[in-house]
Chains A and B, each alone.
Chain A
Amino acid sequence: MSKKKGNAADLAPSKEEKKGLGQYILGFFLLLYTLFCGLPILLVFISAFTDEKSITQNGFSFFPEKWSMAGVNSVLRYGSQLLTSYGITIFVTVFGTFLGLLVMSMFAYSISRKDFRLSKFLSIYLLIPMLFNGGQLSGYVIFTSYYHLKDSLWLLILPLCVTTMNVIILRTYIANSIPNELMEAAKIDGAGEYRTFFQITLPLLKPSLAAVGFMMATAYWNDWQNALLYITSDNKKPLQLLLVNIQKSIEFLLNNSNVPASARAAMGGNIPQYSSTMATVLVVIGPIMIVYPFFQKYFVKGLTVGSVKG
């Protein structure tokens, strides 16, 4: 794909000649859309460093009257929970992504073996969850009252671990981009099945693994729903649940204007403030913003390979 793209750019002098007015108009509209996408994110940065009073008096603004580090500082102050949550989110993301990549690529490799008769059954077995699923309620009841996994990190990891679409992407890549002869040759040289997979197939699968892995990592990082459903104890709360909880406590204060003053005072440190809330949002979305540009080329490629079969 990338080669073709390079060629298209080289072979298009006709396009280069026409840097006329049309191009600038097009550029203007693209810029507008870029701003539409980028400005809300910029607002998070600005608000996180805005003085709290500026927000309560004048509202959120791209040009705040007064800057302040107070919001960021207050986030850092309730540090230990933030650190725990960061740890949980990182652990779940890293462990889940690696586990998922390993089991999915092994599955994808197995079902792409040509004379393996069971692979037909396994392919159908893989597809059915895409067509039909039990829904949230039945999953909730099964996971909590049959598996007894309530408040277990496994429920943050396993539900996002194996997805049909990702296995299909990996399988397509194995079938189309890894020459079968290589695997055959390794076997003739005396490598066993496992060794062939881990030493020949897996390294060649890297571009696809990077693409799928990044999408999985994002899904893990951003998952709030499973956390909200299953996680109850503070030392297992991931970052997204912190965000949800902040919102819940704001809601609580708004809906209970008759909360006695003493209770409000007791909640003192916890009453979420605009700038510190935005600082928390910043802390939660920051790592993805930083990592994403490095993975962009992989997932653009991986997306292409996976969806356009062949």
Chain B
Amino acid sequence: MKSFLENTWKHRAHVVMALPAFLILFFIMYVPMAGLVMAFKSFDFSKGIWGSPWCGLDNFKFLMASKNTFISMTRNTILYYIIFTGLGTFLNVVLAIAIDQFVFKKVAKVMQTIMIIPVFISYAAVQFIVYAFISTDTGILNNTFDMGIRFYSTASWWPLILTIVKIWNSVGYGSVLYMSVLAGIDTELYEAAQIDGANKWKQIWHITLPSLIPMITVMLLLSVGNIMRSDTGLFYQVTRNSGVLYSTTQVIDSYVLNAIFKNSNFGFVSATSFFQSIVGLLLMLFANGMVRKVSPDDALF
């Protein structure tokens, strides 16, 4: 103990340097964790979180009672996660390999620059672009193909629309990571394969893909911890938060955001948040455990 204190004193400069970030994390991240006790309280703004009376598991009973909302938004959250992660990873890898194989490097560079741009546009702006394409009267799609589809009031179109927007937004950026792995592959491997008579497809199948597998595994596993969280902007902004579409577009995060604005249903919301945080924690621990088995160097802890 004494040597620990001595060591800390010796490193007092490092303690001081770590302090600002420590405090910011404490007030922004740690204190709200304690706020999760709201799930067990009958929350009243005037009494505050700690002053409000305990109500045991009432909020969770409420959650069970209105389970349709709860189940539908949980289902949406998970399904979108699966579509976005599955399709996203696949496209990331395909795009990375395609750019890597393309011999006109300067052209590839310009193309890549354009492909990455969408990730830097906020969803608050993206929704106007989406509107320009799919609005009923002025949208490009409806005008060009004369379809007359009322996208903003037809829920069944939105899984497709949101997936396309998400891909547009993230695939160019996501592929950068895989490209860096590809750039690190020893070119002698390809040369040897060529001498052995392997064509391009065989080279991709036997050399390129296997070298990407560790990175793919790690990225997939690490993302598991975020199943319960969504890209809120995508679901809140791009859908224009339209109630008609909720059956296919409401996810937990956008539901909570709405509840805060409407100042309503805090019992239900706090129980949902609690559920979201706990499931997130368990999945994260599980994911990290799996990464640890597959590739210990990439585990978070």
CA separation between A133 and B99, bound complex, in Å? 38
Extra contacts, 4 of them, besides A4-B184, A30-B102, A138-B33 (Cβ < 8 A), are: A8-B185, A29-B98, A43-B140, A142-B49
Chief secondary structure at chain A's binding surface: helix
* Closest Cβ–Cβ distance, residue A277 to chain B (whole Å): 6
Whether B105 is near chain A, meaning CB under 8 Å from some CB there, is yes
Q: Which of A40, A102, A134 contacts B34 (CB 8 A)?
A: A134
Pick the contact of A26: B101, B215, B298 (CB < 8 A).
B101
What chain A residues lie within 8 Å of B120 (beta carbons)?
218, 222, 285, 288-289, 292
Tell me whether B123 and A224 are in contact (CB under 8 A).
yes
User: Which A residues are CB-close (under 8 A) to B168?
Assistant: 36-37, 40
Q: What mask results when residues 190 to 233 of chain A are scored 1 for a CB within 8 Å of chain B, else 0?
A: 00111001000000000000000000001001111100010000
Which residues on the A side are within 8 Å of B11 (C-beta)? 110, 113, 115-118
Identify the A interface with B (CB < 8 A): 1, 4-5, 7-9, 11-12, 14-16, 18-19, 22-23, 26-27, 29-31, 33-34, 36-38, 40-41, 43-44, 47, 55-56, 58-62, 102-104, 106-107, 109-111, 113, 115-119, 122-142, 145-147, 158-159, 161-162, 167, 192-194, 197, 218, 221-225, 229, 240, 243-244, 247, 251, 274, 277-278, 281, 284-285, 288-289, 292-293, 296, 300, 303-304, 307-310
Among A4, A31, A37, contact of B172 (Cβ-Cβ < 8 Å) = A37
Size bracket, chain B contacts: 35 or more
Q: Which residues of B contact A247 (CB under 8 A)?
A: 124, 127-128, 237, 240
A36–B116 CA distance with the chains assembled, in angstroms: 12
Determine whether the beta carbon of A134 is less than 8 Å from that of B181: no
Q: Establish whether residues B233 and A225, one from each chain, have CB atoms under 8 Å apart when the complex forms.
A: yes
Across the interface, name the chain A residue whose C-beta is closest to B298: A309
**Measured CA separation A270–B14 after assembly (Å):** 54
- Report if A141-B240 is in contact (Cβ < 8 Å); known contacts: A133-B29, A136-B260: no
Instruction: Decide if A1 touches B128 in the complex (CB within 8 Å).
Output: no
Separation of A126 and B188 alpha carbons in the complex (Å) = 41
The answer to whether A23 and B138 have CB atoms under 8 Å apart is no
Contact across chains for A141 and B38 when beta carbons are under 8 A apart: yes
Instruction: For the complex, give the distance between the alpha carbons of A167 and B24 in Å.
Output: 13
The distance in angstroms between the C-alpha atoms of A274 and B108, with both chains bound, is: 34
Assess whether B197 is interfacial by the CB under 8 Å rule. Answer: no
**Which residues of A sit under 8 angstroms from B132, Cβ to Cβ?**
40, 43, 47, 60, 278
A77 to chain B, nearest CB (A): 19
Asked if B18 lies at the interface with its beta carbon under 8 angstroms from chain A, I say: yes
Chief secondary structure at chain B's binding surface = helix
With a cutoff of 8 Å between Cβ atoms, the chain B residues found around residue A221 in the complex are: 122
**B248 contacts the other chain (CB 8 A):** no
Is there contact, CB below 8 Å, between B21 and A224?
no
Q: A125-B25, A132-B277 are in contact. Are A308 and B113 (CB under 8 A)?
A: no
**Partner-A contacts on B (CB < 8 A):** 4, 7-8, 11, 13-15, 17-18, 20-22, 24-25, 27-36, 38, 43, 45, 48-49, 95, 98-99, 101-105, 107-108, 111, 113-118, 120-125, 127-129, 132-133, 135, 137-140, 142-143, 168, 172, 176-177, 180-181, 183-185, 187, 190-191, 194, 200, 215, 225, 232-233, 237, 240, 253, 256-257, 259-260, 266, 269-270, 273-274, 276-277, 280-281, 284-285, 297-298, 300-301
Closest approach, in angstroms, between the C-beta of A226 and any C-beta of chain B?
A: 11
- A146 touches which one: B48, B124, B183 (CB < 8 A)? B48
Q: Is the CB of A19 within 8 A of B300?
A: no
Contacting pair A138 B101 (CB below 8 A) = no
Given A110-B14, A247-B240, A224 and B122 contact (CB-CB distance below 8 Å):
yes
A33 to B35, CA, bound (A): 45
Sample of 20 A–B contacts (CB below 8 Å): A8-B187, A12-B190, A15-B103, A29-B98, A34-B114, A106-B20, A107-B18, A107-B22, A117-B8, A133-B280, A134-B35, A135-B256, A138-B270, A142-B31, A159-B28, A162-B21, A243-B124, A288-B121, A292-B116, A304-B180
